[in-house]
Chains A and B, each alone.
Chain A
Amino acid sequence: MKIDSTAKSLTISIVSLLIFVTAWELVCRLGFIEPLFMPAPSKILFRAIKMIDNGQLIAHTLASTRRVMVGFMISSLVAIPFGIFLGSSRFFMAVFDPLISLLRPLPSMSWIPLSLLWLGITETQKYSIVFMGSFAPSLLYIIEATKSIDPLLIRAAKNLGASKLDVMREVILPGSLPQIIAGLKVMLGIAWTCIISAELVAAREGLGFMIMNGKEYFQTDTVLLGMVMISITVMIIDVVFRKFERRLLPWTR
């Protein structure tokens, strides 16, 4: 019954995608749109084949993916323990609250000039942009997640002899993990916007660079190909993340 209906919606989705792409192709072929503004899907596909052939497409995609992953990993690895610590300590929460409140509203874009000044057009600069863009919001997600824990469980843990550190490691971390992961999934999307904007401004490779470069040479098909690649990559990573999530949260099955 359930499989039936998911198969059904999948079929509908595929058909709808085909109709959309065909309509787009037709509109372009019939000359309703200037190719410079909007190339036909077939032209984007040809561009893709060409760029796969010379290795550029994979190289740009991998460059952006690596930057997102490294920046995001570092940000999460710092934010998770720090967030759990702040979530369980009223004192340190009060200490760091003003700093977090100041950092949080800053879009990652606003860090680009400073980071270029400090680090130049380097990989470290890219990682730091992802880090700055995702750290403060991740931290807030994690602090919020620690508040969802049933205080009775903390009581029970202490009653069984758990120290403060034990409570953080054994109760607060696993107890807030489902929500932390949900938050990090959103943050991963934000990390992508960070890296693309950083690459649009200054880079020598990556999907953002590819898009900007395509625009410089009036290759609208390259621009659109870059955009399509961002969507596909983010989708693939989302699927991988979901698999990973299930393995991390065996008790929610």
Chain B
Amino acid sequence: MDTLTNGTKISIQGVTKIFSGKRDEVIALKELSMDVQDGEFIVIVGASGCGKTTLINLVAGFEAPTHGQIILDGQPVTGITPECGMIFQQYALFPWKTVQQNVEFGMKMKRMPQKERQERAARFIDIVGLKGFERSYPHHLSGGMKQRVSIARSLANDPKVLLLDEPFAALDAMTRQVLQEQLVRIYEKHRKTIIFITHSIDEALLLSSRIVVMTARPGRIAQEIVNDLPHPRNADVQLSNRYMELKRTIWDSVQAEVMKSMEVETH
């Protein structure tokens, strides 16, 4: 699958993020620059604490960069924008709303007529394979089902960009694989621009069109790798030499940064 690159979707320009506490300050990101093309599936990997979450929180507008700026569709990001749909590791579903009401939430905020949003929600619930659970409350669902509701909720709101912060990390291997396949299908069909954070190199190789390895804190970009593995990325692809080669490259790169971050911590 070739990525449709009709221009730059997100441009991260010299972004530094400093968290100042009472005594010390943490430089989470330092002069990080990166462009994301329209329709790319970017996967970010890097040592724990290197600033991955901080980076996508900045893109979503949850926080403001200390220096530099982020441009989305030619406009600087100045606040929380529904254009960037965020999918959280902890699902963040509204416990008092049913699956249907959760998925309708964004459309309700847009004041879409009830009938229209009901139909649209039903369609996305179907896409993520949760037909029949419309009237369930989140606490009756398994982790995998909750994450699917969260994906449906985001998609139904039709964001231009999907941001996913380790969305499948809390799920078992089987569920994770099902959701990965579902996400790839959604990506191919709806052509969203996606930024996805993971700790799993296999997940990165399965999903991405480009992999970004971040350095230990303060986070910058250590390496960018275009993932040219053919689709579908089935068992054959996963056993191919190219897969192994890419995996080794990324592994070495991440490993080096993890070592660095451990050294920093022990000193």
Contact = CB atoms under 8 A, between A and B. Distances in A.
A, B in one complex: yes
Interface of A: 150, 152-153, 155-163, 166, 170-171, 174-175, 177, 249-251
8 contacts: A155-B86, A156-B92, A159-B82, A159-B85, A160-B109, A160-B153, A166-B109, A171-B94
Contact of A158 (B80, B88, B94, B108): B80
Contacts of B187: none
Interface string B18-35: 000000000000000000
Contacts of A153: 92, 94
Nearest to A156: B92
**For the complex, would chain B's binding face be called helix, strand, loop or mixed by DSSP majority?**
loop
Interface string B123-159: 0000000000000010100000000000001100100
B80 A159 contact: yes
Contacts of B110: 161
B94 A152 contact: no
Interface in B59-118: 60, 62, 80, 82, 84-86, 88, 90, 92, 94-97, 105-106, 108-110
Nearest to A173: B96
Given A171-B94, A251-B137, A159 B109 contact: no
Contacts of B97: 174, 251
Interface of B: 60, 62, 80, 82, 84-86, 88, 90, 92, 94-97, 105-106, 108-110, 137, 139, 153-154, 157
Given A155-B62, A156-B86, A251-B139, A161 B92 contact: no
Contacts of A155: 62, 80, 86, 92
Nearest to B108: A170
Given A166-B109, A251-B137, A159 B60 contact: yes
A251 B157 contact: no
Given A170-B105, A175-B95, A249-B96, 6 more contacts: A150-B92, A159-B80, A163-B109, A170-B94, A174-B96, A251-B97
Nearest to B90: A152
Interface centre among A153, A171, A175, A251 (most CB of B within 10 A): A251
A163 B80 CA distance: 10
B139 A161 contact: no
B78 to A, nearest CB: 13
Contacts of A251: 95-97, 137, 139
Contacts of A159: 60, 62, 80, 82, 84-86
Given A155-B62, A174-B96, A251-B96, A161 B90 contact: no
Contact of A177 (B82, B96, B109): B96
A64 B86 CA distance: 53
B260 to A, nearest CB: 30
Nearest to B109: A161
Contacts of B153: 160
A152 B92 contact: yes
A166 to B, nearest CB: 6
A157 B60 contact: no
A66 to B, nearest CB: 32
A119 to B, nearest CB: 40
A145 to B, nearest CB: 14
Contacts of A166: 109
A168 to B, nearest CB: 13
Contacts of A158: 80
Given A161-B106, A162-B109, A251-B139, A156 B88 contact: yes
Nearest to A150: B92
Contacts of B60: 159
A160 B106 contact: yes
Nearest to A175: B96
